[in-house]
Amino acid sequence: MYAFVVFVGLALALAVVGQVLDEVLPVKAPKALSTTITVGVAILGAWAIDYSVFRAFGQSLRADWQNPVVTGIVLVGAGEFLRAVAANMGLSISIGGRDRSKTA
């Protein structure tokens, strides 16, 4: 259970970091480039803290270098999924000067 909570927490934190970087950078990048940068940040973050979601759930990958790479990709996917679920529930996981006139 704790492995899942850590995974969800990291995914949400990565989604917030991605939005902060998108708001702070002076150049507005296309969505595909922004997602690619987020994947890179996720891979570097997973490598820096030596975290593998697959090892946490007792699974192993073929090579050790695959753990942070695939974990970063899965974290970005989970963050986008959680953001979509929250949006469908009427919640907003957004930062910055976006339209906040809608209330839940």
Closest CA relative to residue 35, chosen from 50, 17, 51, 48? 17
For residue range 6-65, list pLDDT tens digits in order.
Answer: 999 999 888 888 888 778 878 887 888 888 888 999 999 999 999 999 998 889 899 999
Helix, strand or coil, per DSSP, at residue 25? coil
pTM reported for the whole predicted model: 0.76
Name, in order, each residue with C-beta under 8 angstroms of 8's C-beta and a sequence gap of 6 or more. Answer: 78, 82
**Cα 65 from chain centroid (whole Å):** 19
